[in-house]
A and B are shown apart, each in its own frame.
Chain A
Amino acid sequence: MSAADRPPVIEFRGVSFAVNGKAILDNFNLQVREGETLVLLGRSGSGKTTALRLINRLQEPNAGEVIVSGRPTTAWDAIELRRGIGYVIQETGLFPHFTVERNVALVPRLENWPAERIRTRVDEVMRIAGLRDGQFESRYPHELSGGQRQRVGVARALAADPAILLMDEPFGELDPLTRAELQGEFQELQRALSKTIVFVTHDLREALLLSTRIGLLEEGELVGLYTPEEFLRAPEPLAAAYVATLEAREPNRQARREG
């Protein structure tokens, strides 16, 4: 079954969302298919984070509906919905008073898994997230590096084995080397687990690297939806402007040629 035939797991139907009369999303329509990594690309304030928060009902639409696994989010019990969706954010939001182990085990504990199963699962997701050696469990988040914290955030999101993963610029604050490392691991993880992932970023390189499709947002509207290959050739001026930033980043090519 090719990706295009798979049923949508998440669907935005004519969704509008406003804060104090200011429209953040306006008649937003989008389908996210099972097992794909859809990247929402746009500048800050384009509405991409809001779109993400509508999926796990941290926000509710003013008009239209967001359908997750066949049901509008407003028909879901919010707690049940959220426990079935992994969430990773840039600031990690790890609990500073919990050890890494307790942070990772958060949702399984809330779901009252038996202790033995929690232990096995924590080991498993820690390994998946690249935290080997069993030397992290008893540490606290402030004792870890930024990259390690972000891995713990990923492990926590995966712990209860959710079918959907939401990621809001999860690698945004990392140094370039650690970011590249985590991006590479993310790709492996994606191949191994085939979760449905919605990933928010403002970095086109990251979008091209990680996505199966890219949704381009501007001022609360979906400007276009492309595969990475299509994006590079897209006639849409905003997409072209993003692509131009890739070329501009080549270091001093001009200078070298002239020198």
Chain B
Amino acid sequence: MDGFFEFMQRNGSQIAQLTLEHLWLVIATMLLATAIGVPLGILVTRKPWLSKPILGGANAAETIPSLALFGFLLPVPWLGARGDRLAIVALTLYALLPIIRNTVAGINGVDPAVRESARAMGMTDRQILFQVELPLSYSYLLAGIRVATVLTVGIATIAAAVGAGGLGEFIFRGLAMMNNKLILAGAIPAAILALGADVLLGMLERRLRYAR
């Protein structure tokens, strides 16, 4: 580990640059995955017969090795044109499963007596969803987003393979040059990002938890 800190210091600006790129990949992915995953989860609770195709699809996406998925998407016209675009789409596919699953678990976990009385008081389906079911599911939703975020920070390192940038650049370069310092320069900030996201979202999750 000779001179590791000197190495980090010398490359400080590049580490910062790649960390920002990495962060951009993760944030864009999470926004997209949440915008798609939560409505899909709600749909599953409304139309149970959609549960198999939607959760099955998201599950299947999870089983594709990430490097292979990036490779598959490379020839797709609009996607393949830019590395970060491609990476965000691929990462979104991975992030969907925990988000959909937790949305479903959260909504289905609402006390049936609460839902029953909401209906009996004359709330419409829409009112029940937005005033009762979703607010009571926030901590579940957030738990799903947290798991997906940590997952995405990790997988995003592989996005460097298709030119999406991010901390994976260091890791791939380090592997090619058999340089451990380079690998660590990518791996350590990535680990810190993942931990930071986990802690922050965990705090938010606890604040949104209701007695239920």
Chain B contact residues (Cβ within 8 angstroms of A): what range? Answer: 20 to 34
> A residues 88-110 with Cβ under 8 Å of B?
89, 91-97, 106-107, 110
Across the interface, do B117 and A110 meet the contact criterion of CB distance under 8 Å? no
Q: In this assembly, does B177 line the interface, its C-beta being within 8 Å of a C-beta of chain A?
A: no
Which residues 104-156 in B have Cβ within 8 Å of A in the complex?
Answer: 111, 113-124, 127, 132, 135-136
B211 within 8 A of partner (CB): yes
Does A246 count as interface, using CB distance less than 8 angstroms? no
The prevalent SS among residues of B at the interface is helix
Q: Which of B113, B118, B121 contacts A91 (CB 8 A)?
A: B113
Q: How far is the CA of A95 from the CA of B116 in the complex (A)?
A: 11
Shortest CB–CB separation between residue A139 and chain B, in angstroms?
12
Pair B211/A87 contact, Cβ less than 8 Å: no
Asked whether, in the complex, the Cβ of B122 is within 8 Å of the Cβ of A94, the reply is: no
Q: Is A201 an interface residue (CB 8 A)?
A: no
Q: A93-B111, A95-B132, A140-B211 are in contact. Are A79 and B124 (CB under 8 A)?
A: yes
A116 to chain B, nearest CB (A): 22
* B116 with A58: CB separation less than 8 A: yes
B114 in complex: contacting residue of A56, A79, A81, A96, CB < 8 Å: A96
Contact at B122–A93, with CB atoms within 8 Å? no
Give min CB distance, B75 to chain A, whole Å: 48
CB of B210 within 8 A of CB of A97, answer yes
B122/A80 in contact, CB under 8 A: yes
A142 to B114, CA, bound (A): 13
A179 interfacial contact with B, CB 8 Å: no
B212 at the interface (CB under 8 A from A): yes
Q: Are A92 and B127 in contact (CB under 8 A)?
A: no
Interface size class of A (residues with CB under 8 A): 20 to 34
B121 and A92 form a contact (CB under 8 A): no
B114–A82 CB distance below 8 A: no
**Residue in B closest to A82 when the chains form the complex, CB atoms:** B122
A34 to chain B, nearest CB (A): 21
Residues in A whose Cβ lies below 8 Å from that of B113: 89, 91-93
Q: A13 to chain B: which residues have CB within 8 Å?
A: none
Of B116, B117, B124, B135, which is within 8 A of A97 by CB?
A: B135
Task: Tell whether A83 is near chain B: CB-to-CB under 8 Å.
Answer: yes
- Contact between A82 and B211, CB atoms less than 8 A apart: no
Contacts of B115 on A, CB cut-off 8 Å?
Answer: 93
**Quick one: CB contact mask for A49-76 with B, threshold 8 Å, 1 for yes?**
0000000101000000000000000000
Nearest CB in chain A: distance from B188 CB, A: 40
C-beta contact mask, B9-39 vs A, less than 8 Å → 1, else 0?
Answer: 0000000000000000000000000000000
| Closest residue of A by beta carbon distance from B115 | A93
Within 8 A of B (CB), among A21-58: 56, 58
A110 in contact with B123 (CB, 8 Å): yes
In the assembled complex, the Cα of A190 lies from the Cα of B102 at a distance in Å of 45
A93 touching B211, Cβ below 8 Å: no
Partner of A110, one of B122, B136, B210, B211: B122
Chain B neighbourhood of A107, CB < 8 A: 121-122
With both chains docked as a complex, state the minimum distance between the C-beta of A193 and any C-beta of chain B, in angstroms: 19
Quick one: given A110-B127, A140-B211, A142-B211, are A94 and B121 in contact (CB under 8 Å)? no
Cβ contacts under 8 Å, A95 to chain B:
114, 118, 132, 136
A97 to B122, CA, bound (A): 18
One of A80, A89, A156 near B116 (C-beta < 8 A): A89
Q: How far is the CA of A97 from the CA of B210 in the complex (A)?
A: 6
* Given A79-B122, A107-B122, CB of A96 within 8 Å of CB of B210: yes
19 A-B pairs with C-beta separation under 8 A = A58-B116, A58-B119, A78-B122, A79-B124, A80-B122, A83-B121, A87-B120, A92-B113, A94-B117, A95-B114, A95-B118, A95-B132, A95-B136, A96-B114, A96-B136, A96-B210, A97-B136, A106-B123, A166-B120
Instruction: Identify 18 new A-B residue pairs, CB closer than 8 A, beyond the known A91-B113, A93-B115, A95-B118.
Output: A56-B120, A79-B124, A82-B120, A83-B121, A83-B122, A87-B121, A92-B117, A93-B117, A93-B118, A93-B120, A94-B114, A95-B132, A96-B211, A106-B123, A110-B121, A142-B211, A156-B121, A166-B120
Query: Which residues in B have some Cβ–Cβ distance to A below 8 Å?
Result: 111, 113-124, 127, 132, 135-136, 210-212
Ranked nearest first, the 6 interchain pairs of A and B with the lowest CB-CB distance are A93-B117, A83-B122, A82-B122, A91-B113, A87-B120, A93-B113
